[in-house]
Amino acid sequence: MVFQVKISIKDIERPIWRALIVSEETTFEDFHIYLQIAFTWPDTASHLFLQGDVRIGSEIEDLFEGKETLDEEEVTLAEFLKNVGDRMTYINGEDDSWWHHEIILEQKAELPMDLPLPFCFSAEGNSLKDKGFDMEYNLESMTNEELVEYINEQFSEFYDDWFFDASEETEPDEEEWNELFDAADQVKNKKPWLELYDDQLIAIWSNELHDYAYCSIMGNAGESYGVTCFLGSRGLLSFFDIMDADPYEDNPALLFNQYSVTVDFNNREDLDEEEYDLIKNLGRKYRGKYQWPSFVSMVPDQLPWTINQEECLILTGILLKLDAFLSNTENLSEKVPSFGGNMLAINENEELILLSIEELIDEALQEPVLELDISEIEWKRMRKKVQPLNGKEVELALIQMGEPVQNTPDSRPFLPYILILVERETGAVLHYDLAESVYYAEGVQQAIYQLFDKLEVLPKTIYMIDDFFAVNAEPLFDKISIPLVKTDELEGVEQFVEMMMSEDGPF
């Protein structure tokens, strides 16, 4: 379990605060260190944590004579911040200059994967000169975004072990990279783009993916060369979105909705520094135009990124099967159907078959199922919340933010969503929160489940725009017996978004 806590300096004219994500098992000794880094307090400052009559601090400190103080090395945040909204006070300073901070537990959450902690989520206020405090670092010229980046850079000293383990688990090793480059070179040497267009897909069964990858050969127009493999039914739908789009319209959503892995064959000057260094470190040699391979991962709601170990193995397997097909096939343009009714496929047994595109689309668009791995006890607890409804009808929406963010300075940037809950009758905002990836059914359901799990009561009826999110959320609402009304307009949500995007709003 992790905590999102907001720490605000009290009794100053301008707001100065930090929002941090920390483990519930963080001791107050470590939390003090995190706050020193986040606010750039000097190491010599004395400190104390207060909650009611309880005091927590170092054994060598005696800021409140005669009062019993718990040892901060032995006490964790979870023992005092138990419920969302719980508060504490943090006092820091020396001599006659004491700074009082209010600590509020804003969120508690279970993370689906490890996250390097601590992490600064957001911050405001970058100078304390108006009270004459001589800070060790001058942050006055930084924007709030630069301030967050700076704090997380300081926190990175705690990440060494995490990054070491994560890189071993997710990055291809040298042998895997070389196998992928070999497979890519073999396909490149066949020059399939001389006979095929990018809409003549070849479906190739991937043992690693346990599904088909739909391969588009790029280069017939002589502008860019490579192979894009759209992964599974999700990837296939993203390909059809591209096909249906206006080619002359700039539509960033198409880029951020793709689910694919790609090998591009570039010129040397088109490679970025990391791509060139990889080729050089592997000892591989390339010369000439459109000879230098690079590999790109596309995941919905995330920016293009280098492929990880799993994607490396998937792409290697696909390219090897594609190369075998190209080696044994003449007159490609006649063997591979043009875009339309059928698609050539290499099945699990490496046999050539034809797949119906209409049936593939129907299968990809089939009704979503409830994806959450939740115990029946938890479902019963959730359904009990349905009882005291108070007759409230609410509007629920997921609004994507326009600017990508990162969990850590080196992690893959993603486009977060704001999950908004508004009372339909009054327009009152009941709750809003950030959600990371909600493109898939599981992501949508998980974000909404976590939202309702925080609330004391559940609504009588939920209104959502009739779109992808409503379709994938419906199985969740059916499970907890809350009616869902799909509509074309959410007035309360629209007003909230207008306020958020206004000059006075936070975005």
Two structure tokens written together for 75:
């006490």
Supply angle C-alpha 424, 430, 431, rounded to 5.
125
Reported confidence tier of residue 435, pLDDT bands at 50, 70, 90: confident
If asked whether residues 292 and 155 sit together in one domain, one would say: no
Let me know if residue 370 belongs to a domain.
Answer: no
Q: What is the CATH number of the domain that holds 465?
A: 3.30.420.10
Can you tell me the mean pLDDT for 252-272? 89
Supply angle C-alpha 16, 18, 20, rounded to 5.
175
Residue 180 has pLDDT above 70, yes or no: yes
* This prediction's pTM: 0.63
**Is there a contact between 414 and 405 (Cβ–Cβ < 8 Å)?**
yes
Q: Which of 311, 334, 364 is at the close of a domain?
A: 364
Least confident of 60-64, 118-122, 264-268: 60-64
Let me know if residue 68 belongs to a domain.
Answer: yes
Let me know if residue 102 belongs to a domain.
Answer: yes
Let me know if residue 507 belongs to a domain.
Answer: no
What pLDDT, on the 0 to 100 scale, is given for residue 252? 64
Reported confidence tier of residue 166, pLDDT bands at 50, 70, 90: very low
If asked whether residues 204 and 349 sit together in one domain, one would say: yes
Beta-bridge partner residues of 107: 4
What pLDDT, on the 0 to 100 scale, is given for residue 239? 93
Domain that holds residue 180: 172-364
Q: Which of 166, 188, 213 is at the close of a domain?
A: 166
Which burial class, exposed, middle or buried, applies to 209 when counting CB atoms under 10 A from its CB (0-12, 13-18, 19+)? Answer: buried
If asked whether residues 231 and 348 sit together in one domain, one would say: yes
If asked whether residues 215 and 327 sit together in one domain, one would say: yes
Domain tally for the chain?
Answer: 3
If asked whether residues 181 and 324 sit together in one domain, one would say: yes
Can you tell me the mean pLDDT for 323-335? 94
Q: Give tens-digit pLDDT for 92-151.
A: 887 667 889 999 999 887 754 456 789 888 899 875 543 444 444 455 567 888 888 888
If asked whether residues 11 and 154 sit together in one domain, one would say: yes
If asked whether residues 296 and 273 sit together in one domain, one would say: yes
Let me know if residue 506 belongs to a domain.
Answer: no
* Strands of 352-356's sheet in order across: 292-298, 260-266, 225-231, 211-218, 202-206, 342-346, 352-356
What pLDDT, on the 0 to 100 scale, is given for residue 502? 60
**Is there a contact between 462 and 477 (Cβ–Cβ < 8 Å)?**
yes
If asked whether residues 196 and 343 sit together in one domain, one would say: yes
Supply angle C-alpha 176, 179, 180, rounded to 5.
90
Q: Give tens-digit pLDDT for 349-399.
A: 999 999 999 999 999 888 788 878 776 667 766 776 665 445 689 999 998
Let me know if residue 318 belongs to a domain.
Answer: yes
If asked whether residues 309 and 403 sit together in one domain, one would say: no
3-state secondary structure of 168: helix
**Is there a contact between 317 and 206 (Cβ–Cβ < 8 Å)?**
yes
Let me know if residue 369 belongs to a domain.
Answer: no
Let me know if residue 15 belongs to a domain.
Answer: yes
Residue 168 has pLDDT above 50, yes or no: no
Two structure tokens written together for 137:
């670092």
Q: What is the CATH number of the domain that holds 139?
A: 3.10.290.30
If asked whether residues 11 and 151 sit together in one domain, one would say: yes
**Which H/E stretch holds residue 71?**
strand 69-71
Instruction: State in Å, rounded, how far the first CA of the chain is from the last one.
Output: 28
Q: Which of 166, 191, 220 is at the close of a domain?
A: 166
